């Protein structure tokens, strides 16, 4: 029974250490731009492993699933032993980087994994994640296919790790003696090339995203002005109508380059809600649209791939007036490249299950489908939707007709449900703070949006907090309408430039409600959330 008694702290400890490893590795993207894409993929897997561990932890101790935990105990021990050694190697690299070049310690780490143990870092992390997800399925009473093959893969990895230790007559720097890495910046790192399915550059040829060097420091957005707060450590943000004229040569950096960083959780949609249709575009192809975007002064903000990189979406912006465009790239049945382009202000987002439908509005009062984007993970849908809506509403031309305004389009009977809404004040700005739970995936998030004015309900930031939903002590009422949050990892995703959600003097995120009533209602909603997630 001793092993069973220790399983809960082991799950949480490994989840936290996986997050520590992800945070520590993420900072290497700055000094290793050629490896940035691969590093981001590894960081994403580490966060996914943490999410899987927390999902199993959340089932332990429940009346429904806790008694079945013995079924997965042996397999958890297997993955724990291998994961322990992998994490220790990562922490050892972080320690060595204090005295040696980042490129050297990164190459040494990959030599250890690829040449000595014969199992690459990303490869084994993917196996860990799949294996943990399979254990979660077993705990919930489902049969998991391919488990035997995965188990053998992990046994092979563990055997190689143990053999490497014996051959080299040394042990990796232990996790207990190696200090955990600290991020170099208190907020989200500056934009760099991102995951294998995400890119942010000005390279506009039909090809997979290249690895690029560090981007220049972004200018402050013309849509916002900054001030300071006497009580909280953060910039305060308000909308303005000024136009920014670039004064420095070269491409500018859009705030959306910070969004798809590979660090967000990956909560999949459940089978009844996962649509089988592929992503598609139903507009008229325009073979000249890429040239027109360049001619008209547009720069790429971000790029995403769908359907195993068969379907690509780019968002463009123009620095002089923040006009925004969407470009879709795919191929026909003969392999011929097809390009489609529309202003964001011409499209409305409508959610259907696991897809976002981008629709045109016709004069006769109906919507016609222009494109369908099918998602696997809810967090990715949220980030795309929020980025799309924010860029659309920051377009200085504005949305011409009411029917094209996006109004909480993720909410539906089979989609997100609003559990709480309250009013916050940050500096001189008033924001609406909401808790959403997605019925199709179970994901939980916080969202702050503009409370009033022309940008009412436009997302300002969102935080994915599913892993904290079973912890009623995660939020604390501090008095005077302020609720403090123990942690938000990864940090909130912000949809305007140089804005930081409010924090207290200790660096903890806080929700500064305008009334104690809203603060207490938030606390009551949060404490009851774990019973329904």
Query: What is the per-residue pLDDT for 160?
Result: 92
Residue 5 in this model has a pLDDT that exceeds 80: no
Residue 201 in this model has a pLDDT that exceeds 60: no
State if pTM tops 0.85: no
Same domain, 287 and 337: yes
Query: What is the per-residue pLDDT for 533?
Result: 52
212 in any annotated domain? yes
Query: What is the per-residue pLDDT for 361?
Result: 92
Same domain, 422 and 474: yes
Element (H, E) at 412: none
Same domain, 218 and 288: yes
123 in any annotated domain? yes
Between 56 and 323, where is the model more confident? Answer: 323
179 in any annotated domain? no
Average pLDDT score over residue span 10-18: 87
488 vs 463, 506, 510, CA distance in Å? 7, 14, 10
Same domain, 149 and 287: no
Q: How many domains does the chain have?
A: 3
Same domain, 377 and 426: no
Q: What is the 3-state secondary structure (H, E, C) of 100-135?
A: CCHHHHHHHHHHHHHHHCCCCHHHHHHHHHHHHHHH
* Domain limit, last residue, from 404, 439, 461: 404
d(CA 39, CA 28): 8
**Radius of gyration in angstroms for the set of CA atoms belonging to the chain, rounded to a whole number:** 24
Same domain, 390 and 482: no
Residue 79 in this model has a pLDDT that exceeds 70: yes
Query: What is the per-residue pLDDT for 283?
Result: 93
Same domain, 358 and 432: no
Same domain, 360 and 244: yes
181 in any annotated domain? no
Q: Where are the beta strands (DSSP E) in 58-197?
A: none
* Domain limit, last residue, from 128, 147, 168: 168
The full DSSP string for 232-278 is: SSSEEEEE--------SSS----GGGGT--S-S---BPPGGG---PP
Query: How close are the terminal C-alpha atoms of the chain, in Å?
Result: 29
491 vs 237, 263, 276, 488, 502, CA distance in Å? 18, 9, 32, 5, 12
491 in any annotated domain? yes
**For 245-275, how does the pLDDT look when each residue is reduced to its tens digit (9 = 90+)?**
333 344 578 999 889 888 888 899 988 888 8
Share above pLDDT 90 across residues of the chain, in percent, rounded to a whole number = 48
**For 420-433, how does the pLDDT look when each residue is reduced to its tens digit (9 = 90+)?**
999 999 988 999 99
Same domain, 311 and 386: yes
253 in any annotated domain? yes
Same domain, 148 and 264: no
* Domain limit, last residue, from 404, 424, 452: 404
Instruction: Dig out the tokens for 122 from the structure.
Output: 């990303």
176 in any annotated domain? no
Query: What is the per-residue pLDDT for 54?
Result: 84
Residue 38 in this model has a pLDDT that exceeds 80: yes
HSE toward the beta carbon, residue 140, CA cutoff 13 A: 13
Residue 283's domain comprises 198-404
Average pLDDT score over residue span 403-410: 87
Residue 513 in this model has a pLDDT that exceeds 80: yes
The DSSP code for 202 is S
User: Which of 295, 313, 316, 311 lies closest to 303 in space, CA to CA?
Assistant: 313
* Residue 114 burial (CB count, 10 A): 13
183 in any annotated domain? no
d(CA 222, CA 237): 11
Same domain, 114 and 240: no
Q: 232-260 burial, b for 16+ CB within 10 Å, e for fewer?
A: bebbbbbbeeeeeeeeeeeebbbbbbbbb
Same domain, 142 and 100: yes
What phi and psi, each to the nearest 5 degrees, are found at residue 207? -165, 170
Lowest-pLDDT choice from 62-71, 95-104, 335-344: 62-71
**For 319-342, how does the pLDDT look when each residue is reduced to its tens digit (9 = 90+)?**
999 999 999 999 888 788 899 999
User: Which of 327, 356, 521, 328 lies closest to 422 in space, CA to CA?
Assistant: 521
Q: What is the 3-state secondary structure (H, E, C) of 461-472?
A: EEEECHHHCCCH
């Amino acid at each position: 029974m001793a092993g069973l008694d220790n399983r809960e702290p082991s799950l949480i400890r490994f989840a936290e250490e996986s997050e520590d490893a992800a945070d520590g590795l993420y900072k290497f993207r700055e000094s290793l731009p050629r490896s940035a894409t691969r590093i981001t993929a590894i960081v994403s897997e580490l966060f996914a492993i943490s999410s899987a561990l927390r999902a199993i932890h959340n089932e332990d101790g429940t009346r429904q699933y806790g008694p079945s935990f013995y079924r997965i105990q042996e397999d958890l021990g297997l993955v724990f032993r291998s994961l322990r050694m992998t994490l220790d190697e990562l922490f050892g690299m972080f320690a060595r980087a204090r005295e040696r070049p980042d490129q050297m310690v990164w190459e040494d780490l990959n030599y250890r994994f690829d040449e000595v143990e014969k199992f690459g870092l990303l490869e084994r992390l993917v196996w860990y994640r799949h294996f943990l997800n399979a254990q979660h399925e077993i705990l919930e009473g489902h049969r998991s296919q391919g488990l035997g093959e995965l188990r053998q893969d992990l046994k092979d990895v563990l055997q190689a790790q143990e053999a490497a230790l014996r051959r080299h007559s040394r042990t990796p720097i232990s996790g207990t003696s190696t200090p955990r890495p600290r991020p170099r910046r208190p907020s989200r790192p500056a934009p760099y090339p991102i995951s294998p399915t995400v890119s942010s550059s000005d390279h506009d040829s039909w090809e997979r995203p290249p690895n690029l060097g560090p981007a220049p420091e972004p200018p402050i957005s013309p849509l916002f002005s900054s001030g300071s707060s006497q009580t909280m450590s953060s910039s305060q943000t308000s909308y303005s109508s000024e136009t920014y004229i670039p004064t420095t040569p070269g491409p500018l950096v859009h705030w959306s380059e910070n969004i798809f960083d590979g660090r967000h959780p990956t909560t999949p949609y459940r089978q009844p809600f996962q649509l089988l249709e592929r992503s598609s575009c139903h507009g008229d192809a325009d073979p000249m649209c890429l040239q027109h975007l360049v001619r008209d002064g547009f720069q790429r903000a971000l790029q995403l791939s769908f359907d195993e990189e068969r379907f690509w979406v780019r968002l463009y912006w123009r620095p002089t007036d923040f006009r925004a465009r969407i470009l879709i790239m795919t191929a026909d049945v003969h392999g011929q490249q097809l390009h489609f382009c529309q202003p964001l202000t011409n499209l409305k987002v409508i959610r259907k299950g696991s897809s976002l439908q981008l629709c045109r509005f016709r004069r006769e009062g109906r919507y016609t489908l222009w494109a369908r984007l099918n998602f696997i993970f809810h967090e990715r849908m949220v980030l795309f939707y929020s980025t799309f809506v924010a860029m659309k509403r920051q377009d200085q031309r504005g949305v011409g007709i009411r029917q094209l305004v996006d109004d909480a389009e993720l909410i539906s009977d089979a989609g997100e449900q609003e559990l709480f809404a309250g009013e916050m004040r940050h500096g001189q700005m008033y924001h609406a703070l909401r808790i959403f739970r997605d019925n199709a995936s179970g994901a939980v998030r916080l969202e702050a949006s503009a409370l009033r004015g022309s940008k009412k309900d436009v997302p300002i930031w969102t935080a994915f907090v599913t892993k904290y939903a079973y912890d009623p002590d995660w939020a604390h009422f501090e008095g005077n309408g302020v609720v403090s949050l123990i942690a938000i990892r990864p940090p909130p995703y912000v949809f305007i430039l140089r804005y930081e959600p409010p924090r207290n003097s200790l660096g903890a995120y806080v929700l500064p409600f305008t009334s104690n009533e809203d603060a207490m209602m938030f606390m009551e909603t949060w404490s009851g959330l774990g019973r329904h997630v």
